[in-house]
């Protein structure tokens, strides 16, 4: 389930399909949207910021604005219409729900968050708060809340909690699988669990229980 069509989704991302229209988005205080259609880019962005800040309509608007900017630079106007609009095709959004990387980067930037693609786990900073991952048009997010990291893949039924120590192993493994990894930095919204250590630890335990006691094993899609 990606920013695009199912033909480009990694097979492992669909091994355990979930129904995002029926499953709740809150898991013991952790916001975790599950898959609906081909909207995993939207899910990844919302899971990253831990709130429903983005939707497909917002991203489509960003895509159209980028199309117009690109068309103005490349072709100018023909009879008062931007050249890129004559074909009716978009370079930034497809009919099946695919959004270009630039749409996602721009939408996050407008929310006060900047994306930087990492060349490897060693390139991450010491105080990162979130990452988004992309491979074959499938997107998912990793977010730190307090001292714990959470894999918030929308193809999973529950978040997976991991320690700071496990983070580098996770990043390295996904680089080796061919994922593009973006560090997302900036003004994240406040998170209630960062003000309640006991509730945060309960959420971590619930994640471990939901994943069979395994810490940090998710994110395969």
Catalytic-labelled residue, pool 47, 92, 134, 153: 153
The yes-or-no answer on residue 40 being catalytic is yes
Catalytic-labelled residue, pool 28, 32, 43, 138: 138
Backbone angles phi, psi at 174, to 5 degrees: -80, -30
- Sign of torsion, CA 56 178 187 47? positive
Catalytic-labelled residue, pool 28, 32, 40, 92: 40
The yes-or-no answer on residue 138 being catalytic is yes
With b meaning 16 or more CB within 10 Å and e meaning fewer, what string describes 81-114?
Answer: ebebbeeeebebbbeebbbbbebbbbbbeebebe
**What are the residues facing 182 on neighbouring strands?**
117, 132
3-state secondary structure 47-74: HHHCCCCCCHHHHHHHHHHHHHHHHHHH
Active site members: 40, 138, 153
């Amino acid at each position: 389930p990606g920013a695009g069509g199912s033909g480009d989704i990694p097979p492992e991302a669909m091994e355990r399909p979930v129904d995002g229209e029926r499953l709740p988005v809150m898991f013991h205080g952790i916001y975790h949207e599950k898959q609906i259609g081909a909207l995993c880019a939207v899910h990844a962005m919302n899971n990253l910021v831990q709130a429903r800040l983005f939707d497909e309509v917002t991203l489509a608007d960003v895509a159209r604005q980028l199309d117009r900017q690109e068309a103005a630079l490349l072709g100018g106007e023909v009879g008062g219409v931007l050249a890129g609009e004559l074909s009716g095709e978009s370079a930034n959004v497809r009919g099946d729900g695919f959004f270009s990387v630039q749409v996602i980067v721009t939408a996050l930037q407008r929310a006060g968050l900047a994306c930087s693609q990492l060349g490897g786990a060693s390139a991450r900073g010491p105080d990162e708060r979130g990452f988004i991952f992309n491979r074959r048009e499938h997107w998912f997010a990793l977010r730190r809340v307090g001292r714990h990291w959470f894999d918030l893949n929308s193809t999973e039924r529950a978040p997976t909690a991991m320690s700071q120590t496990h983070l580098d192993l996770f990043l390295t493994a996904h680089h080796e699988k061919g994922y593009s990894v973006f560090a997302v930095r900036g003004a994240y919204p406040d998170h209630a669990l960062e003000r309640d250590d006991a509730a945060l630890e309960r959420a971590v335990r619930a994640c471990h229980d939901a994943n069979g006691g395994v810490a940090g094993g998710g994110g395969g899609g």
